[in-house]
Structure 1
Amino acid sequence: MVLNMGPQHPSTHGVLRLELITDGEIVKEVIPHMGYLHRCFEKHAESLTYQQTIPFTDRMDYLASMTNAHVWVMGVERMLGIDKDIPKRIEYIRVLVCELNRIASHLIAVGTYGIDIGAFTPFLWLFKDREHIMGLLEWASGSRLLYNYIWVGGLFYDLPVGFEERCREFVEYFRPKMVELNQLLTENQIFINRTANIGVLPRNVAINYGCSGPVLRGSGLKWDLRRIDGYSVYPELDFDIPIGKGEMGSVGDCWDRYKVRIDEIEESLKIIEQCLNRLQKELKRTPDFDPRAKLPRKLTPKPQDYYVRGEGAKGELGFYFMHTDLRSEIPFRAKARGPSFNNLSVLPEIAKGVMIADLIAIIGSIDFVLGEVDR
């Protein structure tokens, strides 16, 4: 039979159509059909200045918008040659809000993954805890989802007074919640049976398809651009890179990809604490601190081709810039490399011969966002 799963289907995480060729309940072939959520991001970037494009980067992976803006801004600053002039306080605030956003993204990934295969309670718990992060980010930027907070040369605004203390309270509140989640879901035998040895992605296949993020690390490869490229202030921070170890089944199965995200939340909490310590002890707020002080009047880089990349919540997010006119603030061409596209492309490879119910588990374990797939 040929079955359509989507484009409007609760288990496809957005408007994605999967054409399934089945033999009874066994999936023989999966053909993804994309293009239902095309955001025209790259065309917008060719029509607007570098600064004006930042709100459109938010709309790619709209569950981790801070990272999108951080990578875009980092590339523009390097092209302008001002990346070394960014004050340390600004860099630590950028990392702080990006890691908060990474946790929020993983909470959605884990919560919706549980509900995909029948666990309803974790979904409600994690969305409740995610609200704390949404409140913090809204306090800092004025928005809950699409922030426009990280700007070229600085930030839209410094952190509000009392933000660091409230953020530390959240970390202390949230750590015990992760212990409860592991007891409820990670060690749940029904959940393990639904995810262990399902959708096994061998490391060489993941590399050949250009997978990145938790999907690649779930297959056992320690590849994290925060360590590999050492951008921003990440080299000054102490954190580990979780990888899949096949604890419940095979290396690179659905459970491993899930567990990598759970462990990454713990590492992000470590990073947040270190950023808070630096901001409160050494990089204190001063009356004359202006988060936009280093912003040039006109953002006109030299003509060049430049590629910048960073570790988003779902993997390697990259932007390729072509700037040809010394007098223009608008790039001739901007190409986005979204991790969700490559991660989704491996689906037909690892879904052959599985049950239709297991296909739902595989889709959830990849954790893609269609705004980033179609761009």
Structure 2
Amino acid sequence: MASEITKELTEDGEIYRLNMGPQHPSMHGVLRLFLDLQGEQLVKATPVIGYSHRAHEKMAEHRTAMQFLPNTSRVDYLSGMIYNVGYCQAIEKILEIEVPERAVTIRIIANELNRIASHLLWLGTFLLDLGGITPFLYCFDDRETILDLLDRISGSRLTYCYARFGGVTLDVDDVFLNGTSDFIQRMRGRLEMYAKLVTGNAIFRERCEGVGVISMELAKSYGMTGPCLRASGLAYDVRRAEPYGGYGDYDFEVPVRTEGDTMARYHVRMQEMAESCKIIEQALRKLPDGPILTPKLAKRFKLPEG
């Protein structure tokens, strides 16, 4: 490595190669980058991944379906609820388990709250990296409200493990429902505040517009998903394209941009939080009475071969 750096500096004295990570104040040991810099301009970045690999797939080979359930909320600790519910839905589909409508609706509320919390952490840390300390504090204040709500129904703030095969662990009470409704009303106002505080900021726009452009073709070739894919022009959201878990009964838009730059990805995520608020409001209105766990689920079961 030293000889390569020396050779490159000899050939062009303006190019510097630096290591970023895997231990870095702005990260959690998840990534290492070889950076080629020309002044303040990033010329090339070579990622080295795998530092957070936990071998979940290998652990699943030696555990029962129920024993592996706690792992699912640890795949991505920012979206633990969504992974937990997704795993349960896969088992339910294989075993043809029918989930009560109340449990389906509760799952949607929990999922969308978790989605907003994940986006708020992204927004806060993103702005903090750009020097925006004040909006970072606002974002984490909003996120704390969500974590308290999810803690009330799951007993955990991050690794929820709330869903069960055939439903959910605990029912929601009036405190949770009223708290969620109040938060949604508050969040709508906060999104307007973020737009005034951040979106129109000249320095923010200069640092985001035209930066990190990813075309739709490049996004698809790299297998990109989620907001990054939609910010590159492809309006694909599994909740809309292949509705699952009751999402087909809800009215919401799929935010999409065509610029493919950092600003576009910012807009998509901000709009997604507004759409999540819309979904939660609909779910709160239509939440039916009834059981939260199917009574027909066997105590022991075996997955079919194949």
User: TM over 0.5: same fold?
Assistant: yes
Distance 1:294 1:230 in 2: 25
Shift of 1:31: 1.4
> Structure 1 residues 290, 133: closer, same or farther in 2, change over 3 A?
closer
Q: Which has the higher contact order (CA 8 A, sep 6+)?
A: 1
Matched, 1:133 2:146: yes
Q: Does 1:298 align with 2:306?
A: no
Provide the residue aligned with 1:60 in structure 2.
75
Question: Structure 1's 5 and 126: CA in aligned 2 closer, same or farther, altered over 3 A?
Answer: same
Distance 1:127 1:294, change over 3 A: farther
Does the 8 Å CA contact 2:100/2:292 hold for their aligned counterparts? no
Matched, 1:31 2:46: yes
Match of 1:156 among 169, 194, 203: 169
Q: Which residue of 2 aligns with 1:278?
A: 286
Q: Judge conservation of contact 2:209–2:261 (CA < 8 Å) in 1.
A: yes
Letter in 1 for 2:215: P
8 A contact 2:102–2:292 mirrored in 1? no
Q: How far did 1:14 drift?
A: 4.2
Report what 1:124 is aligned to: 137
Partners of 2:139 and 2:209 in 1: how far apart? 22
- Residues 40-55 of structure 1 mapped to structure 2, 5 A cutoff: 40-55=55-70
Displacement of 1:41: 0.9
CA distance in 1, matches of 2:24, 2:296: 47
Is the 2:29–2:51 contact (alpha carbons within 8 Å) kept by the matching residues of 1?
Answer: no
Matching residue within 79, 90, 100 for 2:94: 79
Residue 272 of structure 2 is aligned to residue 264 of structure 1: yes
Asked if structure 2 preserves the Cα contact closer than 8 Å seen for 1:154 and 1:294, the reply is: no
Q: Give ranges in structure 1 of 5+ residues lacking alignment.
A: 246-250, 305-375
Q: Which residue of 2 aligns with 1:233?
A: 246
Structure 2 length-normalised TM: 0.91
Secondary structure (helix, strand or coil) at the match of 1:52 reads coil
Q: Given the alignment, which residue of 206, 213, 216 partners 2:219? A: 206
Q: Which residue does 1:352 correspond to in 2?
A: none
The match for 2:236 is 223
What is the letter of the counterpart of residue 109 of structure 2?
L
Q: CA deviation at 1:44?
A: 1.4
Are residue 114 (structure 1) and residue 117 (structure 2) matched?
no
Q: CA deviation at 1:228?
A: 0.7
* CA shift for structure 1 position 188: 1.0
The residue aligned with 2:205 is: 192
Mark the structure with the bigger radius of gyration. Answer: 2
Q: Which residue does 1:146 correspond to in 2?
A: 159
| Structure 2 residue aligned with 1:362 | none
Cα pair 2:72 2:80 within 8 Å, conserved: yes
Q: Distance in 2 between matches of 1:35 and 1:244?
A: 30
The change in CA–CA distance for 1:53 and 1:16 in structure 2 (over 3 A counts) is same
Counterpart contact for 2:252–2:279, Cα < 8 Å: yes
Match of 2:67, SS state, is: helix
Output one character per residue of 1:48-94: Cα deviation in whole Å (capped at 9) or x when no partner: 11112121111111001011011111111111122xx2111111111
Structure 1 residues 294 and 201: alpha-carbon distance in aligned structure 2, compared to 1, 3 A threshold: farther
How far 1:292 moved relative to its partner? 5.1
Give 1:112's aligned amino acid: T
Instruction: Give the 3-state SS of the residue equivalent to 1:28 in structure 2.
Output: strand
Length, aligned pairs only: 291
Q: C-alpha deviations, 1:297-352, integer Å up to 9, x for none?
A: 12312112xxxxxxxxxxxxxxxxxxxxxxxxxxxxxxxxxxxxxxxxxxxxxxxx
* Contact persistence 1:19–1:30 (CA under 8 A): yes
Q: Distance in 2 between matches of 1:290 and 1:93?
A: 9
Whole-Å Cα distance in 1 between the matches of residues 163 and 70 of structure 2? 10
The reply on whether 1:179 has 2:187 as its aligned counterpart is no
* Aligned 8 A contact 1:69 1:148 in 2: yes
Q: CA deviation at 1:37?
A: 1.7
- Please state whether the residue corresponding to 1:297 is helix, strand or coil: coil
The one-letter amino acid of 2:84's match is A
Q: Quick check: 1:50–1:299 contact (8 Å CA) kept in 2?
A: no
Counterpart of 2:3 in structure 1 is none
Q: Assess if the C-alpha contact under 8 Å between 2:79 and 2:118 holds in 1.
A: yes
**Overall identity of the aligned pairs, in %:** 43
